[in-house]
Amino acid sequence: MSEMEAYTGRLIPVDRRGQDFDSWVQGLLGGKSLEELCAQSWDEALMEETEGFIHDRATDIVYEVERRRLDPSGFLLSERNEDGGYSFTVNYYNGGASFSEAVLAAVRAHRT
């Protein structure tokens, strides 16, 4: 059953230390293969296996997520931080969007 969800938090850019995205995710997920994870891509694996990281494919930046749950009402707010990350507050219907999609919508509002 779907329900409203609301969070506030920060997105902190991750230093992958020169690793490409696929290798970094595979290392994060214990060296498992896409087949073992039943995933079609490393983006899918990251989204399905963790809620602690988000990958913005448009910029190839991985963000670590710090968040806390709020009482639901329906909003997307974000603020750019000095370290290149974002602070965010999102409230969304989880039957229409995933956590990652809602946060990225708030972040992308800064680019328009």
Task: Give me the residue spans of the domains in the chain.
Answer: 4-111
- The pTM of the full predicted model, rounded to 2 decimals, is 0.69
Residue 112: what pLDDT? 57
Per-chain mean pLDDT for the chain? 87
- The alpha helices in 1-112, defined as continuous H runs, are 21-28, 34-37, 42-49, 99-108
Residue 41: what pLDDT? 96
Give the span between the Cα atoms of 53 and 9, in whole angstroms: 12
For residue 101, pLDDT over 90 is answered with no
Give the span between the Cα atoms of 45 and 67, in whole angstroms: 20
pLDDT tens per residue across span 7-31:
888 999 999 999 999 999 999 999 9
